[in-house]
A and B are shown apart, each in its own frame.
Chain A
Amino acid sequence: MATSIIMPRQGQSVESCIITKLYISEGEKVSKGDLIFSYETDKASFEEESEIDGVLLKWLYDEGDEVPVLETVCIVGEEGEEVKEMIVASDNKEVEPKPEAVESKKSALKAEIVNSIPEGTRISPRARRMAEDNRIEITKIAGTGPSGRIIVRDVEVVLTGGDDRHTEASYSVEPLTNIRKIIARSMYSSLQNSAQVTHHLGADARRMLSLRKEIKEKKDQPGYVNVTINDMVCFAVIKALQKFPRVNSHLVGEEMHLFNIVNLGLAVDTDRGLMVPAITEVDKLSIQQFSEKAGKISGECRKGSVDPDILAPESASFTVSNLGNYGVEMFTPVINLPQVAILGVNTILLRPADTGDGVIGFVPYIGLSITYDHRAIDGGEATRFLKQVAIEIETLEI
């Protein structure tokens, strides 16, 4: 008997997803574990694996279609099996909603198109209407009006393809993926709407390195957990945050929301782009528990199966972004608003230092870069917090 493959609901707030790719054509065989299609929400990308063996009988949607969650996307069954009934059933489902509902869905979609104009973009009402009528993405239009406002002539340039300023076409056009748009919007908005300052400070990494060495040595023992340097830094941050509640907070309007738990955001680099899942209530975890949980969620992000609800910047109370693996020596991370700070973790470098008794030797230092929102926190407090992180790193207990 044929089976309907439905669009999964990814998180409570998700009402529909966009199909990004179909991997199997109609009539093609599909085995359990094969990728059938990939899809994305505003916040994340996902892949749907087949849970059964059979033949893909019918696609009900195409790439790029927006599909309400729990709707049938395709039907898998025995070769030659009759699927009409199921399609009708599925069609009926679509007809079912009251006309008003359809109407409101339409207007909701329209609103979304409007919303997709990046914040800060200036565009005249007439140009906006012209772009919408011609389905031109506003992000593709270069504004030449006052203060860079997109005006009608700019839309016309795109429409006629007649932008003689770019006739060489030394580039290919690739529309932004949903997740890219989200990142673009939130990064831009963050820098536009807050007062970000970055401080850099180094922490003696000798203790961490020796702990790491010990852990590696216990690799074959039962109950082994691969606690990484990053886990250790995070653990130090968690401890420091408990001493600095103003850093573990959100700035909302003219209010500070001070958290009494720590939900740590972890920047994860994936093929689809940057994701920052929140690991909740980490202050209640041991370093091993934290390490396991962090490893699992990072993996889900890379696979695209993460719960989108934990990707919202509101879910985390503070974020750590580690570029040390790539040898980055110093950077200025961008805060995920409404959080008030983010810690960038850099590579470990050998620095000359007094090793005791006036003997100068090379000591490994891990670089820490904190960006904080000066609207919420002053430089002194941010520095004291950063110093606390260093102290925690230097005196870490496992």
Chain B
Amino acid sequence: MPKCQFLDPVELRKAGKLEFKPIPVNQYSKTIKEEKENYSKDDFLRIYYDMLVIREFETMLNLIKTTGKYSDIEYNHPGPAHLSIGQEAAAVGMAYNLDVDDFIFGSHRSHGEILAKGLSAIHKLDDNSLKKIMEEYFGGDIETIVADGFNGSVKEMARRFLVYGTLAEIFARSTGFNRGLGGSMHAFFTPFGVYPNNAIVGGSGDISVGAALFKKVNRKPGIVVANIGDASMACGPVWEGISFATMDQFTELWEGDMKGGLPLIINIMNNHYGMGGQTNGETMGYGIAARIGAGVNKDQMHAERIDGMNPLAVIDAYKRKKQVISEKRGPVLLDVMTYRYSGHSPSDASSYRSREEMEAWEKHDCIKIYRTNLIEGGMSTEKEMDAIEEKTKGLISEMFSLAINDEISPRMDLIKTPGIIGEMMFSDRSVDAMEPGEPEVLMTLEDNPRFQQIARKERFAFDKDGKPYSKMKQYQLRDGIFEAIIDRFYKDPTLIAYGEENRDWGGAFAVYRGLTEALPYNRLFNSPISEGAIVGTAIGYAMCGGRVIPEIMYCDFLGRSGDEVFNQLPKWQAMSGNMIKMPVVLRVSVGSKYGAQHSQDWTSLVAHIPGLKVVFPATPYDAKGLMNSALQGTDPVVYFESQRIYDIGEQFHKEGVPEEYYEIPLGEPDIKRYGDDITILSIGAALYIAIEAADILKKKYSISTEIIDARSLVPFNYDIVLESVKKTGRILLVSDASARGSFLNDMARNITELAFDYLDAPPVVVGSRNWITPAYELEDDFFPQPGWIVDAIHTRMLPLDDHVVEVDFTEEEQLKRSREGI
């Protein structure tokens, strides 16, 4: 799209061939002796110790899962435990050279990575910083537990803290790192640079890219490592994440110090298996996963296969790749080959692999070989090694006893404090800017051409005689969204926005016209057509502390970002025990005219998922006020827009849309027209259908209608709706969503329950048909029309004198449609 990049047909049509550089495979070959110049004895032993801590930790969990006890103490852990026995060198090698500021993201099999990165951070942090972290985390709750009766060093205490916090989290204790709300597959601890692990395979594939984007855009030190499995290379979010991470624009279009690649390492923890499928030879075609780098960008992602059975090989790779990243030549792809002795989970009988294979790998056991090498290399003795082993066993066994003690490590008491999880679903903060600082902009707001154009518009749709101004002159709904967004761009330096056509074009619906002039690439850019990655990267970006507005264009594309919207965006605040904030405003546009895959209102789908706030403004005044609130908050908000009404003027707020900043609280419906006989509650653009219906009712049947615009779906305050129903006794609910499973039904049920004695008729829901959306020319038979509303009122609530029905709203028809599933 950028005009500065000329696509020259002469050049592009020339014959030639594409050449690839060789991809190194297991090239590391140094001996202990050769490495002595790089490692002290303490370093060598520390690597051994770290691997042992992981081995013992995982062995303990394995014993609990398979035998019900560890060190003769019985315990039942019904939850998951995806173990990484055998992968210790890969984890410790990955973490060894990472700084505290470097973030790791993981998978369902990441206990080892948490411990490795934690131990690495403990080694690098000074005592005071460690003390501060432990004292401040949950007000020192965990520290108090692990400090009781312990007199060792701060670092030793920190190791207790790390093992205990992780284990208590796995055992769902409220004293775990995430209050027991994350569990085995999600545990993390950000002060040590351990970011969320993800129980959805490949889930970190795009979230980690967003974290790297955060570091880059906000000039933060450190890199991001995505530890994902070999099998996740088949997952959409991973491909989308890689595509996003390797966009040319980082090096071609981003300017100044922003020019250059993302500080990201995609670290494939290649243990050869995905569930029961073998990626090498069965379920994938890459043979060696590092091959993937060659297909992605010119640098081939600096891809390499590393022997993950040797910690020193992994450490060496990381040292080299960190250098590449510091030269802004990221991202990097590492294929760290390893092997898991344990099954996918303890319930897996490993029926898909042979005993010979497992035994062969055990002979290559990373810990055993490393130990032998150290002793043979003269760096340690059997005795010294045994002592380290004893020490790790003691640590694990002591922390195990603490973590299973119900008095010391209680679970959340949902009887005494029934609201405790509910309180964590949203952070509900009001924050002008996620970080202090001067926002990076290219011009003053007053110089912006869009700003100047809007200044000439009429902020109320009608003149003093009640005549509407021309569409061009009216301040439109898209202007309301724009004003709120550009205002925030000048307030919050962390705010960025992206989507498939956000820059230059200004969005397919012209909401962002004027933003390109105002903002550098690093704050507004075009993304690949990867709705999964658009939302997934936004999650990673917000998780690290930034505010972001991803846009996926059509609502119908929500399915493409299904996992991100349903499993990731809504969950991380609560799953972190509310440590993480998620200030993401996801713009979603409900279409029309474009048929079955471009015209669906899926508000009900997102409203169903706990953890998302959902709004759907229908007027310029509400659009601006709700966007301001969404951007001021710290929660994920799915912000729906309707393509029918981007050009609608403000018809209700007589003072016109204020030029200055104002907020409309999320969750408050608004009475758009007062009336006495019947209430219509609308969601989104159906407001205008309701208005037309009300005009017919008034004119033909002298019925006065009260119209309430829901504005928000989640949260939703029923007060004014109930008040209205108590007055009118009747309510009809309308939106463009297909009627079956529509959120309107949820509202109708609540209203029925809460105002039953006041109802003169059952609440009636008028939605779209349960069909595919037909062509534009047939839409009037699909989407609710004013006449439908009148017919439904006549048939189901209040027979109207001499009314002739056109659309069948009888009970018989309702039952018939239900029987037929349409």
Contact = CB atoms under 8 A, between A and B. Distances in A.
A127 B760 contact: yes
Interface centre among A126, A151, A153 (most CB of B within 10 A): A126
Interface string B739-763: 0000000000000000011111100
A145 B759 contact: no
B729 A126 contact: yes
B799 A126 contact: no
Interface in B705-757: 729, 756-757
A144 B799 contact: yes
Interface size range on A against B: 10 to 19
Interface string B767-809: 0000000000000000000000000000111110000000000
A125 B759 contact: yes
Nearest to B761: A124
Contact of B757 (A125, A146, A149, A151): A125
A126 B796 contact: no
A370 interface: no
A126 B759 contact: yes
Interface string B801-822: 0000000000100000000000
A152 B797 contact: no
Contacts of B757: 125-126, 129
Nearest to A155: B760
B760 A152 contact: yes
B391 to A, nearest CB: 71
A124 B795 contact: no
Contacts of A144: 799
A210 B760 CA distance: 65
Contact of B729 (A146, A147, A149, A152): A152
B546 to A, nearest CB: 51
Contacts, number: 36
A125 B799 CA distance: 17
Contacts of B756: 125
Nearest to A154: B760
Nearest to A153: B798
Interface in B147-189: none
Contacts of A152: 729, 760
A152 B761 CA distance: 9
Nearest to B725: A126
Nearest to A128: B757
A215 B797 CA distance: 67
Interface centre among B757, B760, B761, B811 (most CB of A within 10 A): B760
A146 B797 contact: yes
Contact of A124 (B759, B799, B811): B759
A152 B759 CA distance: 9
A145 B761 CA distance: 9
B257 to A, nearest CB: 68
A125 B798 contact: no
A144 B801 CA distance: 11
B760 A126 contact: yes
B758 A146 contact: no
Contacts of B795: 146
A124 B760 contact: yes
A149 B795 CA distance: 12
A298 B797 CA distance: 50
Contacts of A151: 760-761, 798
A146 B812 CA distance: 13
Contacts of A145: 760-761, 797-799
Interface string B279-314: 000000000000000000000000000000000000
Interface string A121-135: 000111101000000
Contacts of B760: 124-127, 145, 151-152
A124 B752 CA distance: 12
B753 to A, nearest CB: 12
B362 to A, nearest CB: 67
A126 B798 contact: no
B591 to A, nearest CB: 35
Nearest to B810: A146
Contacts of A127: 760
Interface centre among A125, A144, A153 (most CB of B within 10 A): A125
Given A126-B729, A152-B729, A146 B799 contact: yes
A153 B796 CA distance: 15
Contacts of B758: 125-126, 129
B751 to A, nearest CB: 12
A125 B753 CA distance: 12
Nearest to A124: B760
Interface in A133-179: 144-147, 149, 151-153
A350 B795 CA distance: 56
Contacts of B796: 146
A163 to B, nearest CB: 15
Nearest to A152: B760
A233 B285 CA distance: 94
Contacts of B797: 145-146
Contacts of A146: 761, 795-797, 799
Contacts of A129: 757-758
Contacts of B811: 147
A147 B798 CA distance: 11
Contacts of A147: 811
Interface centre among A145, A146, A149, A151 (most CB of B within 10 A): A146
Nearest to A144: B799
Interface string B565-585: 000000000000000000000
Nearest to A127: B760
A129 B757 CA distance: 7
A155 to B, nearest CB: 10
A190 B758 CA distance: 32
A126 B729 CA distance: 7
Interface in A169-221: none
A146 B795 CA distance: 6
A258 B797 CA distance: 46
A146 B799 CA distance: 6
A232 B729 CA distance: 61
Nearest to B795: A146
Contacts of B798: 145, 151, 153
B547 to A, nearest CB: 47
Nearest to A123: B760
Nearest to B758: A126
Interface in A286-302: none
Contacts of A126: 729, 757-760
A149 B796 CA distance: 10
A145 B793 CA distance: 11
Contacts of B761: 124, 145-146, 149, 151
A131 to B, nearest CB: 12
A124 B799 CA distance: 14
Contacts of A125: 756-760
Interface string B654-667: 00000000000000
Given A125-B756, A126-B759, A144-B799, 9 more contacts: A125-B759, A125-B760, A126-B760, A145-B797, A145-B798, A146-B795, A146-B797, A151-B760, A152-B729
21 contacts: A124-B729, A124-B761, A125-B757, A125-B759, A125-B760, A126-B758, A126-B759, A126-B760, A129-B757, A144-B799, A145-B761, A145-B798, A145-B799, A146-B761, A146-B796, A146-B797, A146-B799, A147-B811, A151-B798, A152-B729, A153-B798
Pick the 8 closest A-B CB pairs, nearest first. A126-B760, A124-B760, A126-B729, A152-B760, A125-B757, A151-B760, A125-B759, A126-B758
